[in-house]
Every structure is written in C-alpha cells, then in structure tokens.
A and B are shown apart, each in its own frame.
Chain A
Amino acid sequence: MLEVKGLRKEYGGLTAVKGISFNLNPGDIFGFIGSNGAGKTTTIRMIATLLEPTSGTAVLNGADVRKDPMAVRRMIGYMPDFFGLYDDVKVWEYLDFFAAIYQVPVKERPGIIDSVLELTNLTVKRQAFVQSLSRGMQQRLCLARCLVHDPALLLLDEPASGLDPRARAELKELIAELGRMGKIVIVSSHILPELADFCNTVGIIERGELLAFGPVSQIVKDIQPHRVFAAHVLKDPEVAMQTLIQLPSVVDAKLVDGELRIEFVGDIEAQADIVALLVDKGFRLAAFREDSADLEDVFLKLTTGAVN
C-alpha cells in the first residue's frame, strides 16, 4: 500500500507541491493528471526518493521515503519521461545490469530477463544493441527494466509520450496487465482519454494542489451529479425545452448550440418518456443521445490552466 501524506516541496520561494495526500492499494492504476508545471513530476520524483520532500512523506509498504529510501528504492520501478538508456550495451545486458543493481540473484536473472522481455514483447531483440531499437521498443525496454525486480509500485512519468498509436495501445494493455498482477501503478499523462481507459483512480493536480482524487466515475459524478442528454429538435427547440422542463425527471434544460441539453434524474422508463413526449407533441427529433461528462470535461472544469 502507498500512503502519501501531506507531501510538500518548496524551491526557494516557489511551492511546487502543496501538501498532497492520497492512498493507493495493490492493483490500483492511478492516473496523475495535470498541465506542465502542475507538480506531477515533482510528486513522482519525491515518491521515487529522488527529491527530499520539504515536509510530509510517502510510505510504501511500511517503508518511509525519508527515513528508509533504500528500502523504498528496492520496491519501486521508476520510468521517467526520458529513456536514460545505455546505447552501447545489448538489451539483455542492460536488463542484467539493473537486475544486479536490484540484487536479483545471479541464477534467477536469465529467467527473469526472459520473462520481462516476453511481457514487453521484446524477446526477439534480446541480443540487439539498445541503440538499434525503435523508440517504441526503447520505451518497452524501459518498462522491462522497471520490472526486473518485481516492484510493488511502478512510477511511470509520461510513458506514452512520443509513441505511435500502435505502441501506445500496446503500452496501455501492458499497464492494465500490470494492474491485474497486483502492482500499484502511477501513470502521469497529458492524454486524458488514454488514462480514462485503463486507470481505476485518477488525481487532478494544478499548481501543486490535488484538486480531485478518486475513481473516474466518482469524480465525474462529483462535478456533474445528473445524467445529461442531448436532443436535436429540428423545429421550435425553445418550445420543446419548455415542454420538457415540466417533467419531474428533468432537472434542467438548456439550449446550447442549437441542441437541447437535458439534465436528468430518473430510470430508463423516465428516459423513454422524454423521447415519447417529444414525439407525441409533434417535435421532429433528429437525434437523442446521452452526453455525460468525461475526464477531459472534468479536467477543464476543475482547472484554470494556471501553472507554478
């Protein structure tokens, strides 16, 4: 379990992270969302023991990043937003080097290297020099490096940056698999739909403050408590709006860009009643669809775009 307690980082007069707290359990895939300069990387680097917090701490399975950083380092796999690879070694040598750093017994290393290469789909590149790999392969090799010591926590800072769509899809599947393996995964990314796809928890950070934290569905519900439907009525949409607002299941209705936006509380029957009413009253209904908020809407609503 990872407990982040009041983590704060100051650089001179600038507070990069303002005392953020959250907990994550094994299997959690946590999407860390924020603009550039919001404090994501600083937070990740503090958890990775690369920066000492000004105050607060993070505790991973009982090991405190401030009191026992070596113990934390043994349990984390850190993948920064750059590769940091050695070009002049072969793929297996690179992994063997990090396995040695993480004190994986010599006898176990070949088997583990084979496993992580298979998991990251790099088995055929075992004997290749790192410099000969494509960007996507290098990214997967970085991930393989993070896995050689079977860490409890993976810190992935912008893991999908610069990857083509196929490599991105493969990486997403891989991260989801790691979550299923019971690892805690923290992923920071700018690409919000991508995170919403495979993260079961997200946190939105701006100017060092954690504005929202929890499951995607919960956060969406917090900012948009009612379901929203969009109806495209061809004639007299204002009249249709006045008609709908009479219904007890309709909390509010507005006309936005020629479409009706209907805030709704009710079951599927009440939902069907809306359509039936519009048709019965003779409105020409061209489209009717649910238009609920997504992670991007939440992000835009909660943040102002300000940076530190």
Chain B
Amino acid sequence: MKERFLDVFVHNPMLVEISRFRRRYFSFSTGNPGNSVILTLVLLGYAGFVLIVEENREAMNPISIVMFETAVLTVFAPMMLYGSIAHERERRSWDLLLAAPITKFQIVGGKFMGAMAALSIAVGLFQIPILIAAFGYKDTNWWNLFEATFVSFSFLMTVCALTILFSARVKRGLMALGAVLGILTVALVVFPALTYGAGIDRLSGDPFLYLHPFTVLSHLTMTDEQNKVVSAWGWPQTFVYIFLSLVLLAWAENTLNFAENEVKFLPQGDKNA
C-alpha cells in the first residue's frame, strides 16, 4: 500500500502533468500567443470581479462566491481535462506510455493530480474575493464557509475524475467533453428543474438533490435558525464526492485495459495493456 502510494504521489513521472497544466493555463511562456491572450483576458476579468466584490462586500454572502466559483470551475475542469487520455491516444503518444515501465495507476493518478494542481491555483485565486466578502459580510458563518470550500473542491474532484474516465473511454477528446458536459447539464440543471416541476420539495430529502452541490451550498448559506438540519449538509456530501472520485478513477484505470487501441466501454481484461 505504502509502495503504491509512493509510486503515485512521489515517484510518479506523470507528475510532469502538473507543470504541463501550469504552463498551459497559467503561463505566458507557452510559445502560443493565443494562450497568452486568453490568460490576459481571464486575469482582467478576475481583477474586475475582485473589484465588484470589494464594492459590495457588505451585501455579499461569501458562500455565494463559492457557488460562483463552483459553477465556473465545473465548466473549466472538463475543458481542461477532456483530452487527458483521449489526446494521448489521438496523437499516439499513448503507445509510448504503454511500452514504457509505467503503471496505469501512475498514468491516471498523474493526470488527476496535474488537474487538481491547476484547479488548486484557480481555487486559490477565488479565495481572495471570498475572504474580502467574508470580512465585509455581517453574518459570515466561518464554519459553513469552511465546509462550503470543501464541498466545492471535492465536487470538482468528482468532475475531474468523471472527465478522466470519459477521456479514457472514448476515441476522441471532444466526445469526452460533450459527454461530461451533457451529464453535468442533466445532473445539475435538467433533472433538478424537472424535479421542481414535478412538485418535489428540495428539503424532503430526495437523495439526488441531497448530493446536488448547489443545493448543499445553498443550505450552507442559511443560518442555523433557518436550517435546522444543517449538520446533514456539507461534510457528508464532501465524503461522498471523494469516494465517488476514487471509484471513477479506479474505473478509468481499469478502462486502460483495452485491446489494440480499441476502446470499449466495459473493461476487457488486462491482456493487451
């Protein structure tokens, strides 16, 4: 177990993904002017957002910024990761990895950690407006804010794991992106809308809505008086998201057992990997 941990987190050559993600999304020295332009626009938008929060800090619940952060990064994460494995296959660098003494666990783990490192930077940037609002807002519940941050981050872990799984299971990166965005749209928007339409009360304990990150975060914005069951919101979902992420990553790893570049949705055994 310890050896496997070290293989993935310490001696994993795929950790190079961390610097690749950093260079791709947070560096002006990529050699690609398009990236630099996009990064400049994003930083300008970020600066504007921080100024808006500063102007309205007394009226802005910091958990609402966590919700905004979650929404933005839920879209950003699949866009960052959809090609993580599918693009290796498309550019055929995949064969070079399979012919090298590296385990599938290291490949999936390295991709995941690279993405999480990049997301951590983005989450870190969001902490500045969140803290500005937290200190300005009169009813800040610091414990709920702490929980909300973990809910958000663990949900993003799940989104990343889901994207890696699809990237490992389809032949083209864009197919993975479409599938993941489709699933997220159905799960986060369409299904809750239908549920409301059917007259189901969100607070009645519907298990699906119970795991909906925005439902969880909106519960955490409430005061203890408004929400008598606040202890049921936050940590339980965080643990479910983390567990779900691990399951999805294990599934993604198992997916790499495909035969002769065929991609099968169901694992085919480890004959040719």
Residues of A near any B CB (own CB < 8 A): 11, 48-52, 70, 73-74, 76, 78, 80, 82-86, 88-89, 93, 96-98, 100-103, 129, 131-132, 145
Given contacts A50-B98, A101-B102, 14 further A-B contacts (CB under 8 A): A11-B260, A50-B99, A51-B272, A52-B271, A52-B272, A78-B96, A84-B92, A84-B93, A89-B16, A96-B16, A101-B13, A101-B100, A102-B101, A132-B31
Partner of A76, one of B19, B95, B99: B99
Q: Which of A49, A52, A88, A96 has the most CB of B within 10 A?
A: A88
Query: Does B92 lie within 8 Å of A82, measured CB to CB?
Result: yes
Docked pose: A98 CA to B102 CA in angstroms: 10
Compute how far the CA of A86 lies from the CA of B90 in the bound complex, rounded to whole angstroms: 12
Q: How far is the CB of A244 from chain B (nearest CB, A)?
A: 56
Quick one: which of A73, A85, A93 contacts B16, CB cutoff 8 A?
A93
A48 near B99 (CB under 8 angstroms)?
Answer: yes
* Residues of A contacting B264 in the complex (Cβ-Cβ under 8 angstroms): none
List 18 interface pairs A-B (beta carbons < 8 Å), by A numbering: A50-B95, A50-B98, A50-B99, A70-B101, A73-B99, A82-B92, A84-B92, A84-B93, A86-B91, A89-B20, A97-B16, A98-B96, A100-B13, A101-B100, A101-B102, A102-B101, A103-B101, A132-B31
> Do the beta carbons of A88 and B24 come within 8 Å of each other?
yes
Contact count A vs B, C-beta below 8 Å? 67
**Most chain B beta-carbon neighbours within 10 Å: one of A52, A74, A76:** A52
Given A52-B271, A70-B101, A102-B101, decide whether A84 and B96 contact each other with a Cβ distance below 8 A: yes
Judging by beta carbons under 8 Å apart, are B100 and A98 in contact?
Answer: yes
**Bound: A50/B30 CA distance, A:** 33
B23 within 8 A of A: yes
Q: How far is B204's CA from A301's CA once the two chains are assembled, in angstroms?
A: 82
- Given A51-B272, A52-B271, A84-B92, A129 and B20 touching (CB < 8 A)? no
Residue-wise interface mask of B (6-40) relative to A, using a CB-CB cutoff of 8 A (1 in contact, 0 not): 00000001001001100110000011100000000
Q: Are A80 and B95 in contact (CB under 8 A)?
A: yes
B-side contacts of A78, CB under 8 Å = 95-96, 99
A225 to chain B, nearest CB (A): 41
Q: Which residue of A lies closest to B32 (CB)?
A: A88
Set of chain B residues within 8 Å of A101, measured between Cβ atoms: 13, 97, 100-102
Please indicate which of the listed interface residues B24, B31, B32, B96 has the most CB atoms of chain A within 10 Å of its own CB. Answer: B96
Closest 8 CB pairs of A and B: A100-B13, A84-B93, A78-B99, A73-B101, A101-B13, A84-B92, A101-B100, A48-B99
Residue of A nearest to B21 (CB): A88
- Determine the chain A residues whose CB is within 8 A of the CB of B24 once the complex forms: 88
| Nearest neighbor of B19 in chain A, beta-carbon distance | A93
Q: How far is the CA of A52 from the CA of B260 in the complex (A)?
A: 9
Question: Smallest CB–CB gap between B171 and chain A, Å?
Answer: 16
Closest-CB distance, B25 to chain A (whole angstroms):
11
Residues of A contacting B272 in the complex (Cβ-Cβ under 8 angstroms):
50-52
Q: How far is the CA of A84 from the CA of B98 in the complex (A)?
A: 12
Nearest chain-A residue to B87 (Cβ)? A86
Cβ of B203 to closest chain A Cβ, rounded Å: 47
Determine the chain A residues whose CB is within 8 A of the CB of B19 once the complex forms.
93
Q: Are B92 and A80 in contact (CB under 8 A)?
A: yes
Residues of B within 8 A of A84 (CB): 91-96
Question: Which residue on A lies nearest to B107, using beta carbons?
Answer: A101
